[in-house]
């Protein structure tokens, strides 16, 4: 009888942001709305996406490599976006 050993469950966060120099109309719209909502002194607003998920892996490095690959191949458009994976230390 074969026994399958499962890895450790790692919580991962992937942050996807537009690359520098790429226009961010969502961020610009938010920034223009801030004064009407009583927020002043806020500038350089950029919008992005954040993904949280879990990965079973034998080692932390394997979990991060899988998350980074997933981020670059599925969760982002590598032509205009940067994707960064990190462990979720809050879990």
Domain covering 8-87 in this structure, CATH number: 3.30.1280.10
Residue 6 in this model has a pLDDT that exceeds 80: no
Residue 4 in this model has a pLDDT that exceeds 60: no
> What pLDDT is recorded for position 3?
52
> What pLDDT is recorded for position 20?
95
Residue 13 in this model has a pLDDT that exceeds 60: yes
Q: What pTM value is reported for the model? A: 0.84
Cβ neighbors of 31 (< 8 A, separation 6 or more) are 42, 43, 44, 45
pLDDT tens-digit map of 27-81: 999 999 999 999 999 999 999 999 999 999 999 999 999 999 999 999 999 999 9
Cβ neighbors of 24 (< 8 A, separation 6 or more) are 18, 45, 46, 47
> What pLDDT is recorded for position 89?
87
Q: Residue ranges of the domains in the chain?
A: 8-87
Do 57 and 13 contact (CB within 8 A), yes or no?
no
């Amino acid at each position: 009888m074969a026994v399958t050993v499962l890895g450790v469950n790692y919580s991962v966060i992937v942050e996807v942001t537009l690359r520098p120099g790429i226009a961010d109309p969502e961020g610009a719209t938010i920034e223009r709305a801030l004064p009407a909502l009583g927020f002043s002194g806020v500038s350089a607003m950029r919008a992005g996406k954040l993904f949280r998920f879990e990965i079973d892996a034998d080692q932390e490095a394997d979990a991060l490599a899988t998350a980074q690959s997933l981020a670059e191949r599925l969760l982002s458009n590598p032509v205009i976006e940067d994707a960064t994976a990190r462990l979720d230390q809050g879990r």
